[in-house]
Every structure is written in structure tokens, then in C-alpha cells.
Amino acid sequence: MSSNRQQKIRNFSIIAHIDHGKSTLADRLIEKTGLLTQREMKNQILDSMDLERERGITIKLQTTRLIYKNNKGEEYILNLIDTPGHVDFTYEVSRSLAACEGAVLVVDAAQGVEAQTLANVYLALDQNLEIIPVINKIDLPSARPDEIKNEIEEIIGIDASDAPLVSAKEGLNIEDVLEAIVKKVPAPTGDEDAPLKALIFDSYYDSYKGVIAYVRVKEGTVRPGDKILMMATGKKFEVNEVGVFIPRPMAVDELKAGEVGYITASIKNVKDTQVGDTITSASNPAKEPLPGYKKVVPMVYCGIYPAEGEKYENVRDALEKLQVNDAALEFEPETSNALGFGFRCGFLGLLHMEIIQERLEREFNLDLITTSPSVIYRVTKTNGEVLMVQNPTNLPPSQEIQFMEEPIVDAQIMLPNEYVGNVMELCQDRRGIMKNMEYLDEKRVSLHYELPLNEVVYDFFDALKSKTRGYGSLDYEFKGYQRSKLVKMDILLNKEVIDAFSMIVHESKAESRGRVVCEKLKDVIPRHMFAIPIQAAIGSKVIARETIKAMRKDVLAKCYGGDISRKKKLLEKQKEGKKRMRQLGSVEVPQEAFMAVLKYDDNK
């Protein structure tokens, strides 16, 4: 049962497929609830974007408290809880949802239900949330709200007959959404006198206050001065401040069962406030933590090295700074014969990896070389020892390997039916096993595949997009390890193994992959004074080979004497090009070579 206080609270998230209008709708809800004037809103949203930038994931909207007064004059506190919008962050999404009683499901009136819509709905149903479908973008000429209502009912199996029809962009019918939230989302429950149980669903580092933990209080009450215990990590702290987001953090006296807000306690590292952990009272601890905690572990690893002229310490400093705010980022020093000193970094997925790389380059102004991403292989040696290998160079010699296993994901792909052939071919090519195919309506199909993660991390998403003209959508989750015939493929330049190019591939794919990599390297490595053989090899067996012919490259020959400024420009350009080169043994390799080996090119 909810108390009178709790009767006036609604905790909800907005879930949507990317681009269906989640952020725009959130902005409108903030605007409609009149907490902020237009101008304040602009400033605050800008502020929060700065903060987001610090946090590394572009989320745009943020957890915030809205005060809604309905037409009967009753006032409600609506806590909008943000969820990150990408498959890499499924666990974080599930914890944010665990902090709510309801979810607003935004569906684009032209696009309809997509893979991520469905994935998010399943997560919300797992948490027993009340789902409120909202059909957005009804201003579009291509909007087909009635069909989409049917689609929601048929595919998701929830009643959408009275789903609000809105245009977040034009601010149409936003009130209906607020009304639906108040009517349909259950009020929170929980005893405010019980021992404290607060769920951490997010956190970030603030240089003045230390870590700010976003919490949903499920049981009990928390106040400044309380001694608290993190149940998963066992760490103890004393609370400095509790508060709510409006969306700027604002201190309050206490947070009680049913409320959403933040706690600060001079915590130095986000690793101490793990998403999904339960905060309890150190003196009067709860018997059991809240369910669902999981330690997040990286799924994808790659090497990050300073480019020529860049300092190793600068890269370490930058990684340390990012890690303060990103509990999922891991790194440790490693050395490569080819690239020298650098770091092996672990990420939740490819998007997470790309975000970190981009931030290192943009915010810290670093020039980096990134090696091919690798998943974690489970290797059982002939002596029974089991190793988790995330760097191909650490693979034991083949005679010591009894068998290897690779991570498999469950993938859900939704697409218009005219592309089914293309996509099945793609999945087949990536060693996928089809589990199920379902017609969602006469135009759209849902495919369920088991795919090796190793095949997904190399540009699968790009390939899917290009094979479906951008209409295919993908969602996946880790399923487990499976035995597989894997081999380590080395790449040799001028007869020398370049360790940074080594990769673990499926036996059946090694030859074609080797050929593509050799061809690509031939395209991107400039000619030298000598011929350069490029080889792909498994052990001592060469499986593909190309040669870059020798040539003396004289850029000035093109200038026919004359124009001195043009000559200068060319020389400068050449110098610029040199900076981005890397000496690997006797061969100079441009930075793009490292990227080139990552991409399969299906058309080649």
C-alpha cells in the first residue's frame, strides 16, 4: 500500500527506439510541467549537456523531477528517470527501469515498432512496469497512427487503443501523456521506517562533491550524516548530502521510500557506486540487497597506442580521467613489438569503444592508434588450465590448446520483408544460426539469430544498414560460450609479423579474411623504395599474399618546375602525411591501415 505522500509520486522512464523522439518528448514534458521557464530550460539543458559530455555518453536528457498540476488542481511529483539509449548499455537500462513503476513507450507514427523498441519493452516487462504507449510524430504526412496502434497490440501485446497521439516536435497533446502517467503508473510503495534500501541506477563524478549516486529509495529513509554501506562492494561512507534533480541537483533534508534523488558521501571513484548495487544503513543494514545486481564486465577489448610523437603518459592520464566517471571502462598497460607501449582497454561493446576513442581524440587532443577489437575467448589448454584471452598475442601455441570457445549473442533483427534475403545471406556469412523468423505484419519481419560476437564486432551493424537501406534494426544480448574452430591469423609485412594486426578468426573464414586484409593493406600502404610482400599466415602456413611494388615516389615531379607555392603546399602535405605514419619494422604504415583491417568489405 502507498502512503498519502507516495500517492502523489510517479516514477517513470521513457523508452524508445533511437530517433523516435524520446529526448524531444522529455523536453516537452519538462516544459509543460512549468517547472522551468523556456529560458531557464535552455540554460539548464545546456548545463546538463556539459555534464553528459563529462560522462561520456550522449544522452541528451537527464533524470529530473517534474511537478505536474492536473486540471482538478491536484499536484503530482513525476520523476523522469533517464535510460541510456544503446544496446551496449542494456544492463544500465534495466537498472534504471528497476527504479520505476511505469514506462512511456514512444513509437514513431511512421516507422512503427523497431528492434530496440521491443528489446526495451521486454526489459520493462521484466520489471513488471506499467507500459504506456505513446505514438509520436503524428504531424508527419507519412504518419499512420491507426496501423501503428495495431502493430503495438499485435507485436507487443499491450492495449494501445487509447494511446496518446502526439507530436513532440510541435507540442501537440503533451497533456495527454502527463494525464496517462498519473492515471496508469502505480504510485510507489515501501516502508519509510524500514532499514534503508536504495537502488543505485547511475552515477557520475563531480570534482567538488565526489561521486553523485543516483538512487531510488525502495525502503527506509536516508539523511545527511547517516552511515551507509554499499552491499555489493562492502564499502562504507558517511552521507554528506541528499537531494533531487530539478534537473540541476538541489539538496533536500531527506529522501524517503518511493523517492528518486541523489546521495553524495565524499566517494572518490564511480567503481564504489556500482549500478545495481543497494545502499543500506551501516548501523541497521537490510537483510538482503535488492535483486538484479550484476557486475558489469567488458565484452570487447582493443589496444590503444599513442601515435608517433604522442606521449604514453598523456594517454594514461586521459584514460584515468575517463575511468573516474566510467565504471565499465577497463585498461591495463601492454606492449606491442610493432607499436611500443600502450594500453589494452575493455569496453561494454563497440559503441562504448567508439565513444571512448572519440573522447580521447577530441577532448584530450590525442593522436592514437587503435588495434582491431577482440572479444574474450575461453581457451582450455591440454593441461586442463582455462584461460580467458582478449588479446590474440596472448594465445598459447596451438599445440598447447585443447579447445577454444567463443562468446555467442542472441540477436534480434527487424526489417522490411523485401530485404530478408539480403540479411539472411549476411547472417549466414557471419556464421549465424537462424532460430526463428516471424512476420510482424504484411511488410515487416523479425529474425532471431544466434551469432558469434566476434562476427558482430566487425562492422556487422554497418553491413546490416547497407543491406536494408537503413531500415534494419538490431538488438543483441550475450548468450554464452560455445566451442568453435578458431585460429590465430598473423599478418606479415616484409616477412615480419606485425603483432598489432594479429587476429583470432574462425578456421573457415581465415582465408577470405586474410585475402581482404592483404588487399586493403596493399591499398593503404604507400610504395617504398623496395618491394613489400604482405602475407597472412596461420602458424607458418601462408594463406594469402599481396605485394606492394617498389617505386620511388617523388611528389614534386608532378609540379613541372614553376609554381613555388604549389610545391611548398605539396611538401607540407607530405610532411603532414608523414606524421600520421608509423614505422613497423622496415615499413612505414599510415594510421588508416589499422582501421582498414577492422572492416570487412562485403563487396570486395
Ligand X SMILES: Nc1nc2c(ncn2[C@@H]2O[C@H](COP(=O)(O)OP(=O)(O)OP(=O)(O)O)[C@@H](O)[C@H]2O)c(=O)[nH]1
In contact, 114 and 44? CB cutoff 8 Å: no
Taking CB under 6 A as the criterion, which residues in 135-194 touch ligand X? Answer: 136-137, 139-140, 167-169
Distance CA 569, CA 576 (A): 10
Q: Least separation, in Å, of the C-beta of 21 and ligand X? A: 3
Tell me how far, at minimum, the Cβ of 171 lies from ligand X, in Å. 9
- To ligand X, the closest distance from the beta carbon of 24 in angstroms equals 3
Annotated binding-site residue? 136: yes
Per rule CB under 6 A, is residue 55 in the interface with ligand X? no
Distances (CA, A) of 181 to 8, 61, 185, 522: 12, 18, 5, 59
Query: Rounded to whole angstroms, how far apart are CA atoms 546 and 527?
Result: 13
Q: How far apart are CA 261 and CA 417, in angstroms?
A: 45
- Which range, of 19-27, 91-99, 457-465, 544-552, touches ligand X by CB under 6 A? 19-27
The C-alpha cell 543483441 sits at 476
Q: Which is closer to ligand X, CB of 137 or CB of 430?
A: 137
- Among residues 11, 13, 23, 325, which is the contact residue for ligand X, using CB under 6 A? 23
Q: Which is nearer to ligand X, 137 or 467 (CB)?
A: 137
- Cβ closer to ligand X: 14 or 500? 14
The answer to the question of whether 498 is labelled as a binding residue is: no
Question: d(Cα 498, Cα 490) in Å, to the nearest integer?
Answer: 7
- In angstroms, the first-to-last Cα distance of the chain is 63
Q: Is 16 in the site for ligand X (CB under 6 A)?
A: yes
20 annotated to bind ligand: yes
Cell readout for 39 is: 529560458
Q: Is 88 left (phi over 0), alpha (psi -120 to 50) or beta?
A: alpha
Q: Between vectors from CA 266 to CA 263 and to CA 267, what angle results, nearest 5°?
A: 80
Q: What CA–CA distance (Å, rounded) separates 413 from 438?
A: 11
Measured from the CB atom, is 166 or 491 closer to ligand X? 166
Length of the chain equals 604
Residue labelled with grid coordinates 539472411: 424
22 touching ligand X, by CB under 6 A: yes
- Residue 459 CA to residue 426 CA, distance in Å, equals 12
Distance CA 401, CA 530 (A): 38
Minimum separation from the CB atom of position 49 to ligand X (A): 12
Interacting residue with ligand X among 60, 381, 448, 465 (CB under 6 A): 60
Q: How many other C-beta atoms are found inside a 10 Å radius of the C-beta of residue 374?
A: 21
| Cβ–Cβ < 8 Å for 427, 449 | yes
Determine how β-strand 227-230 pairs with β-strand 236-238: antiparallel
Task: Please give the C-alpha separations between residue 522 and each of 211, 431, 509, 573, in angstroms, as whole numbers.
Answer: 49, 27, 20, 21
Q: Whose Cβ is closer to ligand X: residue 140's or residue 595's?
A: 140
Q: How far is the CB of 26 from ligand X (least distance, A)?
A: 8
What cell does 421 get?
534475403
Smallest distance, ligand X to C-beta of residue 172, A: 7
Instruction: Tell me: is residue 137 an annotated ligand-binding position.
Output: yes
24 binds ligand X (CB under 6 A): yes
Name the minimum Å distance from CB 168 to ligand X: 4
Exactly one of 2, 3, 5, 19 binds ligand X (CB under 6 A); which one? 19
- State the binding string over 66-105 for ligand X (x if CB under 6 A, else -): -------------------x--------------------
365 is in an annotated binding site: no
Is 23 known as a binding-site position? Answer: yes
Q: Shortest distance, CB of residue 202 to ligand X, whole angstroms?
A: 16
- Chain positions 195 to 254 lying near ligand X, rule: CB under 6 A, are none
Residue ranges of the annotated binding site for GTP are 19-24, 136-139
User: Which positions lie near ligand X, rule CB under 6 A?
Assistant: 16, 18-24, 60, 85, 136-137, 139-140, 167-169
Residue ranges of the annotated binding site are 19-24, 136-139
